[in-house]
Amino acid sequence: PREFGHYGCCTGDTWASELGVLQKSSPRLITTCRKVPHGTNGGVSLYGTGASVMGGAFIGFTYFLMLYFSLPDEDLQFVVIGVGIFAGFIGSVIDSFLGATLEYSGYCTRQENC
């Protein structure tokens, strides 16, 4: 269902943002592949990408378990795990691309009204 894909995208993107900064090497901007500082909008890293896949897999596996325990006589739907992985990955890629192209990445030099 739609909600399943939504949660996969959101979880993948959140895990990528929160865990991707743990990588010691600098992330790369998704649009140009240039190195950028940690926390830059549109920056991607191997840790972040892996975390997005794991976040999507977590949602997929959770949904799979929900189906298994609520409909035990039905055929097992292993495909939902793959859909969760795909949703997590695509969600973080779309967010990174939008961050690199549409979000403001400046620094305020004034102390008031920033």
pLDDT at 89 over 80: yes
CA-wise closest residue to 104 among 26, 44, 41: 41
Q: What is the pLDDT of residue 108?
A: 65
Per-residue pLDDT tens for 20-43? 999 999 999 999 999 999 888 999
Residue pair 46/53 in contact (Cβ under 8 Å)? The answer is: no
Q: What is the pLDDT of residue 103?
A: 85
Q: What is the mean pLDDT of residues 49-61?
A: 96
Q: What is the pLDDT of residue 39?
A: 85
pTM for the model: 0.85
CA-wise closest residue to 77 among 58, 55, 62, 87: 62
pLDDT at 77 over 90: no
